[in-house]
Structures are given as structure tokens and as C-alpha cells.
Structure 1
Amino acid sequence: MAVRDRGLLRVLAHGPFLGLGAIIILLGGLLLHQASRTAEQSALALAGRSAARAALALKGDMLTIEARLRDARQSARASAGITLGPLPAEIRSAAPAASAGQFAMVRDGDDVLAFLVPAGPGAPTAWMNLPASAIEDFLVPLPGTALRLFSLGGEPVATRPEPEGIPGGATASLWVLEGSLGVEGIAQPGGIPAWVWFVPALAIGALVMAFRERMAGAHRSRHKLGALRASLARHAAQLSVNEARMRLSQSARVAVERRDAALIEAWPCPAALIDLSERLCAWNESFAASLPEGLLRRDLQLGMLLRHLDTRTGPRRRGPQHPRVRIIPLADGSRLIEGVEETAQAASPDLARGLCRDELETRAPLLRDAVLAGRLDAAREIAHAMRGLASNFALLELTKALETLERAGEEGVKAALAEVEAAMPAALQRLAVSQRA
């Protein structure tokens, strides 16, 4: 028995088991902490519901009382239950500090005094006495909670149940009248459930079972050690054979790569080779010169390379910095990227001048109508478009006149229009002469 105990101690002292035990203790503590927080949050939610229900019950009557006090003070006429005059001396000393005219309540024995804060000590104001029991009837706490009605400065007005019966714990406050009267719900958090304590105990029991299994595994491992050594020897022999085969295949691969590199380097035009895994494996100098410096590298993915190439067969849609290529599939599954010579297609200058003349003649009446109608934004847009056409064909006078019209305000836009109309015939004549020439 003593030998088995020493074996158990050796297992317990093993690093992984100590770490596992520490983790179980930590997780148990976290579980207990989370259960405690859950109980507190439940108590806070219960206190909030109790306070919200009491606030809704009180709000209507408190608003009515405040409105009656303000009407009495404004009309300077006392009504049933409302007194106009200075507050009683004992209430005046206990009244909280607040701005003049703010609604407040103070407990006075079995009564509650509701009043508007006077402008100064001894100043007249409107006030009335209310039975404390009538206000406490609105404070109906939920089971397991207590309610406290408080006024300015947190002064208590009414409580349910009595103060000595209020449990400590989570509290939630809500305003019945913003800044003047509030209600506070109080709830005692419940205890931690029994299953929360059971989980760490179950984990510790599982750890003990793991310790015992570890001891049995140590005995079994000694018996298997001889068989494992023989197996390791067989695996070592197999690894030697595999290493020799890998060296042969690597040599063949290097030879193929050298052959492909020599073939691509001798290609008459820009070219690159993509292997079966769709990665760049060889290219020549002319292909590298057509792309940004530092872009090409071995094993570059085909998708990354195609971002810098133009593979379309129709008219060029990408910029001149993207060389045009074609992709040719090879018999072994690899692909050859070969450069394609560009054929420039220049547009007819006469056709461009004719189109510019037609556009200017079409937009000129629209510009005049927009200026005369006072639509300056539309006139500026038309002038901007015409100025772009004129500047493309070096019609400097017309360009300058259109720029002046773009920047002109309501007072100078008509004068700018006259400059544009004066420069228009010469510009059209210049386009017509250039077209005939």
C-alpha cells in the first residue's frame, strides 16, 4: 500500500497534473464568481421591475399635485388643500437645497409636505400636506423587494416595507419626476445554486480518476517499450529508403527546371512559364522588362501575375503599363505566357474636328438660353463641357471666354456670354479650315 501511495505522489507531482489541478481550481472559482454575478444581476433586474411599476403608479398623481401647486402659485389664490405662504419653520430647515420653483417633498411625521421650493428663506410659496399612508399605498413592492420614495438630495419620503425590513443588496433607481422625485427598488441576491458547488467537486473526482489511470498507463508503457523500439528500427530503415528516393526525384526536378529556364530564355519574344500548380517557374529578360521591377519571383501565383497583364483579344481596355499577352496551354499541363505585339489604331483627326464643331454648334444655343433664363448652374455646366472641347483643339480665345463665363456671377454672366458669342465664329472657322486641310 505504501508503494502505491508513493506512486500516487509521483503522479501528483507530475507537471501536467499539477497544471490540470490548478486549471480546475481556477475554473471552479470563475464558476462561483459567475454564479454570484448572475444572482446579483437577477436581483438588480427584480429591483428595477419593482421600481418601474411603482414609478408608473405614482407618476400621474405626482404630476397632478405639481400642476395644482404651480397653478395656485401663479394665480396667487389658495385652493382646497393648498396653502400659500412661507413654509413651516421645521420644514424650512429640513428642505433640501434646490433651485426656486422646483417641486419637492419632505416627510413630516405621518404626513408628507409637497411644495415648490421658495425663492429664498421665508419667501411665500405653494404647499400642501398629504397623508404618508396615501403615498405608501402606491408603493407595492414585488415579492423579495423593498421600495423607497425619495425627493431632492436623496431625502426619504416613504418606504415599503418599514426601514428595518428593507433587505440590503442590489438597488435600482428611477425618476418619477425628473430631478424632483424618484423611487428606488431594493432586492436581496439569492444564494448560489447547489449544482454550482457540485461541478468543481465532480471535476476534482475526475482528476483523481485520471491520476489512477495515469499510474496504470505507466505500468502498461513499460511492457510496450520493447515492441516500440523494434518498431522504431523498422521505421528508421523505411525513412532511409524514402530519403534516397526523394533525392533522386529532387535531382530530376532540378534538371527539368534548368531545361525549362534555358528554353524560355531563348524564346524570341517576352515569355514566361507557369507550372502545373499555377505558379511562375521561369521567364526571360524581355518579359521581366515589361513588368514593374521586383514583381517577378519564383512560385508567384498566376492570379497575382495576371493583375499586371492584358489577356483580352479585342481592343485594349487596360492601360499601356499592362503588356498584352496570350496564354498557350502545353501538352504536359503547364502554360506558356507569350507577349503580343501592339498595333496602334489612330483615330482620324478630321473626324475629331468635325465632331468638336458639331458639339459646339449644338451647345451654343443651349448656353444662351440658360443664361437668359437665369439658370446659372446649368449655364456653368454647359460652359464647362464646351471649354473642355475647345481646349482639346487649342481654341484659346474661346476657352478663355468660356472660363470667364464659368466664374461669372449674376451681374457679369451676360457680358461673359457676349464674349463667348464673339469668339465662337472664329473658333468654328478654324475647325472648318483645319478639317478641309
Structure 2
Amino acid sequence: MAREGIIGKTVDLGIKFYSNGVLFDPFNVATVKIYDRKTGGSIVATITPTRIDIGYYRASWAIPSSYLPTTYYDSWQWVAESGMESKTQRYSFSIVPESVSVEVPSIVRAEVGCRPRPSWEFYIGLRNVEDVGNGMGLRLSFGKAIPSDSDKLVHYNVYHSDTRFGVLDSWPKLITTEQQIIVNVTPGKLKYFAVRATEFIPSEIDVTDLVQAGIDLYQYPDALTLQNDIDAYAAAINVGNTNGYPEKGFLLVDTEILKYSVKDGTAFHVEDTERGAFTTFIDIHFVGAEVKLWHGIEETNTVIFQETAAWHKEWGIPRNVDEIGQLNVDSDGYREAAVDHLTTDLSVSDKNIDFPSYDYKGYHRQSLQATFSGGCVNSYVGGEFDGGRGLFLMDRNLARLDSMLQVTGEPVVLLRRKWTGKRCRCMGLRRENPRTRCSYCFSKKC
């Protein structure tokens, strides 16, 4: 079908974006420009396109009535994925006088060149998260992903956060090549998890160079700060300290991906041919830009699970008798009583500070006969009280006990019995112990 519009009326110029034969929304579709020539020429109009449906966009142009019949060109510009270079394509259409009958303009088809990425073989993303019962470990299981090319190896990026919305909004925390891992987290704290598949050529990056966080599990290094301006050519990317980064790999600086094959203690060294990897735009970068280890081209599943690490009774009481404050104790989420109050300190009461002697008047009167005879009238222990005479034996007994402390006893400060060391927060008073912990703590049986 032809693409024609009538002079003096509005023409709808549509385009559909496809990726591997499937309608696809590009990361960004820029303003459409109308040119009077196939190449070069002048811009006669600019139009903001409207998204009609998945992968379908439309630009509507009101053709001025003063225009003569001729051919114009609508220029579309889009970015397939975040960080990729933009692509521009012009398509022709004719404008005709109102006397000519025209059909609805045909919709052009554009093939979007997305970067290849792995796909899930059967089950998409994270399949299950279960508490292993040792207070810190959560077992994550996920499906198998297939690489886009046989020379690539699938890796799995692990995301976790304290909030559901923060899971996929953050950078991945861990990376692995296995389909089941155990992640250690703070006991008793709810965590949210997601897993996305990515892929790398093994000769270009080795994740085992990263800090190990578990069996077959490695930790992404912290982001760094660029300490020198770099242009669009070969450069030394100074960051101050490259510890924790692999010997070779990919960096993300702003939106550009840079491949490096050499690093030293303070900088990554990038050649001309290693700039703008994975079709990203080569740009200049300034001091203060964030430098991160790139996580690869991920698939985009949004499967999220939640779980809390807990102690299970069937594991027995967690013990670490010989290494208090060391492994499995130092950072396991337990509080510490730093002062030993096992022996009650009576030094304050010996000084008799804030414990003045009784005056033995009113309800402090020691004479029981005076009490029964109403000699303590107007007190709240005996005599007339609220318009009547009565005797409150419990109050009287308590008063006598208070008085006896001044004669035969010693006033003391009653303190809660405590021990030093790590303690479970749900322990009972008589069960707390820095070495033997509560067998029901965080248990599902509590």
C-alpha cells in the first residue's frame, strides 16, 4: 500500500518495531522530523510520536494547504535498548491535492537490532526460596537459561533488597553459574529476591576473580568514582583502587560500556577498540562519574520471592563454644551485653543516697495499737478514709516492710540479671546464655 496524504488535511504516519519477528517497544523513540529531501534537505515539521500499542507508534502531521503535491520524508530515530547507539531511518510519503482519492497510509516496518541475550529453557527466573534453618542461610533455586550463542556461558545475577520495589531498582549483589545457591543474610529480617540470566564469553571475564560470598557464589564489587576526565579514545580509567574487580572484564561508565584487559592497583587500561562495547555510544566522561562492573545483557523477568532466615529446632541449638565473637557470632544479628551484671552492685545503696529515713508519722507510724485505735486519722492507711473508717491490711503490711528496711535490712537496687556476650532477643530471663542460644528463636514453631 502507498503512503499518501491530502494537502490541507492530517496524515497519519505509522511505524511498527519488531525484534526477531515480535513487536517490541524500543527504549526511546525520538521526535519525528519531516524533510523535503531523501538525504540532507530542510526540516519542514517536527512531530512528537504517539505510542498506539506495543511496538506501534504514530506521527500525525497537519499538511499546510499552501503546499504543492510532492514527496516528503519522515525521519524516525530510536534507541533499541538503554545505552545503545541510536538509529535513524527515513521513509517516503507523497502529498496529493484533495481531488485525488487516497487510501489509509500503510504502516512501515522497522527491525530493531536488539543485543542478543539468554533465554530460559523452561521455568522463568527464580523458582523457590527456602530457609535452610541455620539462622542466616536462604537457598535460592532457579531454572536453566540457554545462551544466545554456543561460545557464551550463562551467568545468573542475584538481586536482593529489604523492600520489594528496591529489588530490581538496584544493581545485582551476587553472580553465579549454578542453578542453586545459598545466600547468607541477617537473621529475622525479611528479604526480597530476584534472579536474572546474563551471558559472557569466558575468555573476556572470569567471575571467580571476584570476592567469594558462598559456594560457587561471588559478590559484585562496590561502585567506584572516576578520578580523571577521559575522551573518546584509549584511556587509563583512574579510580584510586581496583581491588575486588576481575583481572579483565567490562565497565559501565555513564551509559558507555568499556572493555578492559589490563588493570593495575589504581586504574583500568582501555584501548581504542575496546570503547563502546555492545553497540553503546562512545562518549567523553568527567571526574566524578560512577564506574561499575557491568552486569551483562540480562533478560528482563520480574519474578520476586520473599523469605526470612530463621533458626529451626531440628538443627539443634546453635553453638560456637570456643569462638565467641568469631565465626557465626560476630555478625549474625545478635545483640551483645557489654557489661557483666551477674554480681549485684550495692555501692549505691551503701551510700544511702536517695533513700531518706522514714519519719515514723502517719502511715509510717510503727505502733500497731495506734493504727487500730484510729490514731492515724487522715492517713490513707487507717482511720477515716473517704468518709469512713477502715484498715487496708496489704497497704499496712507493705508500709511495715518498708519501715523494717530502715531497721533490720539494707535498701538495694534490684537489677535484671544479665550476661555478657551475644544474646538472642527472644530469650527468657533465666535462659539467656552467651554460648547456648534459644532453640525456638525465629522458629516457625514459636
Higher helix share: 1
**Structure 1 length as normaliser, TM-score?**
0.20
**Structure 2 length as normaliser, TM-score?**
0.20
Question: In terms of Rg, which structure is larger?
Answer: 1
